[in-house]
Structure formats: C-alpha cells, structure tokens
Chains A and B, each alone.
Chain A
C-alpha cells in the first residue's frame, strides 16, 4: 500500500503553524489557543495512525453469460488489521452496469472481521471483459493519512451476443462431401425424390417404383438427392466501424455473425470465420459445439485496429477458404481493402453474398450545401460499389439498423431462388 498525506493533514499543520507564529509575532494568545486543538489532533492522530491490512477475494458466479443477463459478483474482505475507514471501488468496465449493491463503498473493519459484499451486474453489451481491478483507499481515524492500493483479482467474464431468432438461412449453392441437412444436387442416399432410372443389378428392391414399372413394363427405380453439408465462411470486415452512441456497424455485424454461425452449425454445416481488418484472424471451417464457442470467442475479441497496410485475400492460409464454400460477408463497405478482397473472392468462384451493414443511420450530412452535396456523392459512390458486386455475380443486400436480420436473410434466399429459376 502506498501512503500519502491527506489535504486535512496539510491544512491542520498550516493552521497550527500560522496560529503559533501569529501568536508569537503579534503577541496574541487567542491565536495560540485556536491552534491548540489542531496541534493536539495532529499529535494524537499521527501517533495512532497505522496501515490497515485487508485481504480481498473476488468471485463471479458465472464466467459465460448472454447479453442482458445478470451476473453476481462476490467480494470477501478479511481484515488482518483494523481499518477505521476503508473505501473500496471495483472497476466496472463499460458494457457492464451495476444494478444492485454499492460501488464504491466506505466501511469500517475491525481486526479479524470478515465481510461479504455482493454486487449484481447487468451485461449490457457483448464482449470479453476482465473484472477484478479493485482500488482500496484506507484512512486513519483522524483522516490525516491515507493508504492506497490497486489489487488485480483477474476474473474473466465473457458476454456472448444474444442470438437472433432466424427463420431461414441463405442456402449455399454447392454442398460438400459430408452428410448434413442440405439437399444436394448430386444423387445419392437421401429422402428428396430426384429422378427415375431403369433397374440395374445391385439396386435394392425397396427402391423400385412399382407404378412407373407397371406403366413401362420394366423395372424402374427411384433416385434421390443426397443430403450433404455445406461450408460457410463468415467474412467479417473489421477495418472500419460507423458508430454513434452505444452502437455501431461492427456491433451489428458481430451479432449477426454469432446468430448465423449458430444456425448453420445446428444444421450440421461447417462454419469458418475470417476477420478481415487491421488485425487478421481466421478460423478454419468446423462443426459442432466446440466450433460454435471458438467462433463466438473469436468474435468477442474483434475490435477495430487502425492499419494502413494493404491486405489481400492471399494472406489467408490454405484451408481457410475451402472450394465451393458460401462466403457470407458482413461489411459496412467503408474500406477499399475489403471491397477489393470480396471482388477477388468472387473472381475466384466463391458463392458470395454481401450483407452491407449500412453506416447511413450512423452518419449525418455535414452542414451546408457543400456538405449535403458531399453526402449525396458518398451515397452515390456506395451505390456504384453495390453495382460493381452485382456485375461480378455477387448478391448485395443493404441492412439498416433496426431491421431484423431474419428479414434480410429471407430476402436474400428468395432472390437466390428467383435467380435460380431464371437460370
């Protein structure tokens, strides 16, 4: 603990000194009498001041919660030596909110006393938090000396974004080799009827279509579409973020990525993640609960890192972008590096869907005619970019804050079905 003198000590010393000096210089006894209580308070207070010894233990009831969940934080104080006034402050990171309990709190602890303090925190925003920075400030009984200490009782807390209910997902055009829930265009073992063909040696009797066989006078068997899984790559643009107040495009994108990845994994698809930004992160496609946690943990650590380095898709290791994968990009289309990387992906034949997290709700036209003109030009440039993607054969859909993600995905699915019928 570091010790320092409080303003009160300085003031009392000054008042005592001035009083005694004034009494001597002006030969006025009342000044000495006024200074006397201050002098005695100093002498008694300083002779009794001693450093408190308090042990603090911090515990969270859970380490992983969802947004808008509450988490209980328990502080156990064990006073090895008495503390006449102990101020205790638990640093609460932004995104968490104290809903119950007192923080900071001033209390008195007797020697050997144990005290428990309970705080309840509301997790307002997703993120990987680290609680446990506790600031202690103790004062002696007279308030002349103070001791300060910062304790580091690291308690990690991961707040996952609350997944949005999605009725429909964007169906990948191509499926992979592994068994899944998607109806493949290839024929094989499955439930969806595909075609009829003449009976061949080795075909199972149960596959014979008796009606067709009776009409044609020969054995015909049913063929089915195979049920396979698909590879989905979530491409998250973390180069830039349009933000206002407590929300922004990156928040929206991360929430969407968490919801979409969860649904694809439930459907037995393999899901990978590419976090394309100042710091490049990736996760190879995988399935199951472990992959789900990997993805969400990777999303929690996402942040905007300023970088001027030009990055292309070549920097990603092999296997991160498997062939025939559906690339679902979540981007505000603010950075040219992402725009170019996505066009590159499309040129390499990936099935690309761009969900443009619109920065418009977070931007306001600058004042004046020239400001408005610049704003209009900027919007036109964005439309030009969208057209560029559409010309390249990628689908772009604009997502405004407040619109449910499921509506956007349903729109994309409907337009893909329509496009397939037209083809």
Chain B
C-alpha cells in the first residue's frame, strides 16, 4: 500500500502486485504451503522495486522499512508454519519472540549501515546516518563474536 502511494506511475500495477502477494501469503499460511509463502515475498519485493523504479534511480526513502518489514514478515510466516505441527512451550515462545526482535533490530541496523556505507540516496537525514554508524560498529562486534565462537569450537 505504501509503495502504491509513493509510486509516481503505474500505481495500479504496484497495487496489484502487492495485493496479489498478500493474498498468496494468506493462502500459503492457511494451506499451509511454504512455496506459496516464498512466492508472496518475491511479489512484495517486486512490488516495492517497481514502486522505487517509478521514482528514479537510487534507493527511495522507506527502503529500510520495506526491507526490515519483508524480513520480519518472512520470519513470522515461517514461525507460524512451524506452529502448525507443534506448539511451543511458553518459555520457548518468549525466547523465540525475543530472538525475533533482536533479528529485526539487527536487520534494521544492517540495512541502514549498508545504505550509509554505499552512500545511496534514501531521503533520510542525520538520524539515519547515526543508525548506519551504529550498525557498522555492531557489525564489527558481530564479526568479532563469530570469530571467537569459531575459535572456541574448533571441532566444527
């Protein structure tokens, strides 16, 4: 819907792509059908990309939100597909919800960092640049953590 509102041309095409993807996602979750879920996310990404294309070159404003939104929606969709077979214990549920929040925050930082690092036009301002800088620091910390974890478990 956001992509349709932002689109300068072919708004109907963007809307059709987005609505079709949402319908596919609902069907994929109800069925449940993992291929349909993948298709729906491809459709949403395509819809956003067409909307961005109508606004010229470079990543438009809202790309961070779109990227994080699609990622979080994908995480939630696959979580709900898992829940079809076995329901989580309450403790596990809380842990997974926390993990999902962390992943969403990391995705936000990562995309912001990438935008800042690649110097793409986003229509953002000082806040976005600050997020990008913080993401760069976080990414470095993550790389260090991964390296340490790999050193502690040499058998893997």
Mask for B110-127, Cβ within 8 A of A = 1, else 0?
Answer: 110011001010000000
Q: Are B86 and A11 in contact, CB atoms less than 8 angstroms apart?
A: no
Chain B residues closer than 8 Å to A180, beta-carbon distance: none
Label chain B's interface by main secondary structure. Answer: helix
Q: How large is the interface on A (under 10, 10 to 19, 20 to 34, 35 or more residues)?
A: 35 or more
Please provide the chain B residues from 106 to 156 with a CB less than 8 Å away from any CB of chain A in the complex: 106-107, 110-111, 114-115, 118, 120, 142, 146, 149-150, 153, 156
Q: Are B49 and A28 in contact, CB atoms less than 8 angstroms apart?
A: yes
The residue in chain A whose Cβ has the minimal distance to the Cβ of B95 is: A108
Chain B residues closer than 8 Å to A36, beta-carbon distance: 67, 107, 110-111, 114
Q: Are B92 and A33 in contact, CB atoms less than 8 angstroms apart?
A: no
Q: Which of A15, A106, A139 contacts B89 (CB 8 A)?
A: A106
Q: Are B86 and A104 in contact, CB atoms less than 8 angstroms apart?
A: yes
For residue A187, CB closer than 8 A to chain B, the reply is no
Q: Are A12 and B150 in contact, CB atoms less than 8 angstroms apart?
A: no
Chain B residues closer than 8 Å to A14, beta-carbon distance: 38, 42
- How far apart are the CA atoms of A205 and B4 in the complex, in Å? 120
B contacts with A, residue count (CB < 8 A): 53
Chain B residues closer than 8 Å to A316, beta-carbon distance: none
Q: Provided the pairs A11-B37, A15-B38 are in contact, do residues A105 and B89 lie with their beta carbons within 8 angstroms?
A: yes
Q: Are A106 and B78 in contact, CB atoms less than 8 angstroms apart?
A: no
- How far apart are the CA atoms of A18 and B44 in the complex, in Å? 13
Chain A residues closer than 8 Å to B34, beta-carbon distance: 7-8, 10-11
Closest 4 interchain pairs by CB?
A7-B34, A37-B107, A37-B71, A8-B78
Q: What are 15 of the A-B contact pairs (CB < 8 Å)?
A: A7-B37, A11-B38, A18-B45, A30-B66, A31-B49, A33-B59, A33-B64, A33-B115, A41-B71, A47-B149, A85-B88, A87-B85, A89-B86, A104-B85, A105-B89
Instruction: Spell out B's residues near A (CB within 8 Å).
Output: 34-35, 37-38, 41-42, 45-46, 48-49, 52-53, 57-60, 63-64, 66-68, 70-71, 74, 78-79, 81-82, 85-89, 91-92, 95-96, 99, 103, 106-107, 110-111, 114-115, 118, 120, 142, 146, 149-150, 153, 156
